[in-house]
Amino acid sequence: MHVLWWIVVGLIAGWATGKIMRGSGYGPVMDILVGIVGALVGGWIMRALGFAGQGGTLYTIIVAIIGAVIFTWLLRLITGNRDTGAGNIRRAA
């Protein structure tokens, strides 16, 4: 049952991160994985800051979104992916 919860939180966090960060996204499966990794990153950051790991559904989703945004930002820094969607379409000369 916990795995199903991780997938649901990952889906929500991945979708929200795609909306916050803008860009082409990674696709549905990768967005879920980014959300799950983001939940882990967010949980680690919150524990490092001294916040308890106990929280409700909303707390869990917010922490996952924060972690997923940070993870996506770092991933884009490393891979050099700075695509922001339709705004970067090059015109043929």
The reported pTM is 0.73
Please tell me the predicted confidence (pLDDT) of residue 81: 65
* Residue 87 falls inside a structural domain: no
Token match 């795609």: residue?
18
- Mean pLDDT confidence for 10-15: 84
* Residue 88 falls inside a structural domain: no
* Residue 69 falls inside a structural domain: yes
* Residue 47 falls inside a structural domain: yes
Structural domain span for residue 30: 2-80
Q: Please give the Cα distance from 83 to 93 (Å, whole number).
A: 20
Q: Please give the Cα distance from 75 to 18 (Å, whole number).
A: 13
Q: For the chain, how many structural domains are there in total? A: 1
Confidence of residue 92 (pLDDT cuts 50, 70, 90): very low
* Residue 57 falls inside a structural domain: yes
* Residue 89 falls inside a structural domain: no
Other CB atoms closer than 10 Å to residue 29's CB: what's the count?
Answer: 9
* Residue 39 falls inside a structural domain: yes
